[in-house]
Amino acid sequence: DVLVEVRDIGKRYGNIIALSDVSTSVRAGEVTCVLGDNGAGKSTFIKILAGSHAHTDGTLLVDGQERTFSSPREALDAGIATVYQDLAVVPLMPVWRNFFLGSEATKGSGPLRRLDVPFMRKTAKTELAAMGIDLRDVDQPIGTLSGGERQCVAIARAVYFGARVLILDEPTAALGVKQSGVVLKYIAKARDRGLGVVFITHNPHHAHPVGDRFMLLRRGRSLGDFAKAELSMDD
Ligand code: ADP
Ligand code: ADP
Could you read off the pLDDT of 84-93 as tens digits, one per residue?
887 777 889 9
Which atom of ligand 1 has the smallest separation from the CA of 17? 12
Q: What is the DSSP letter of 131?
A: T
Kindly tell me the burial class for residue 29, based on how many C-beta atoms sit within 10 Å of its own C-beta (0-12, 13-18, 19 or more).
middle
Strand order from edge to edge, sheet including 57-62:
65-66, 57-62, 2-13, 16-27, 221-227, 213-218, 31-35, 196-201, 165-169, 80-83
Rounded Cα–Cα distance for residues 126 and 116 (Å): 15
Instruction: Take atom 24 of ligand 1 and give the residue whose Cα is closest.
Output: 13
Q: Is the CB of 43 under 6 A from ligand 2?
A: yes
Rounded Cα–Cα distance for residues 13 and 182 (Å): 37
Question: Whose atoms come closest to the Cα of 17: which ligand?
Answer: 1
Question: Whose atoms come closest to the Cα of 44: which ligand?
Answer: 1
**CB distance 63 to 114 below 8 Å:** no
Counted residue by residue, the chain has a size of 235
- Residues 234/166/43/73 CA torsion (nearest 10 deg): 160
**CB distance 64 to 46 below 8 Å:** no
- Tell me the per-residue pLDDT of 167-200, one tens digit each, with 9 for 90 and over: 999 999 988 888 899 889 999 999 999 999 999 9
* Selection from 171, 216, 212 nearest residue 191 by Cα: 212
Rounded Cα–Cα distance for residues 214 and 32 (Å): 6
Q: Is the CB of 82 under 6 A from ligand 2?
A: no
Give yes or no for residue 44 having a pLDDT over 90: yes
Distance (Å) from CA 12 to ligand 1 centroid: 10
Question: Whose atoms come closest to the Cα of 42: which ligand?
Answer: 1
Mean pLDDT of 120-130: 89
Instruction: Take atom 9 of ligand 2 and give the residue whose Cα is closest.
Output: 43
Q: Is the Cα dihedral 227, 191, 167, 70 positive or negative?
A: positive
Instruction: Report residue 230's pLDDT band, with 50, 70 and 90 as the boundaries.
Output: confident
Distance (Å) from CA 126 to ligand 1 centroid: 39
pLDDT of residue 107: 43
Q: Is the CB of 44 under 6 A from ligand 2?
A: no
Instruction: Report residue 134's pLDDT band, with 50, 70 and 90 as the boundaries.
Output: confident
Distance (Å) from CA 52 to ligand 2 centroid: 12
> What residues contact 207, with CB distance under 8 A and at least 6 apart?
33, 35, 199, 201, 214
Give the amino acid at 163. Answer: A
Q: Is the CB of 25 under 6 A from ligand 2?
A: no
Rounded Cα–Cα distance for residues 7 and 218 (Å): 17
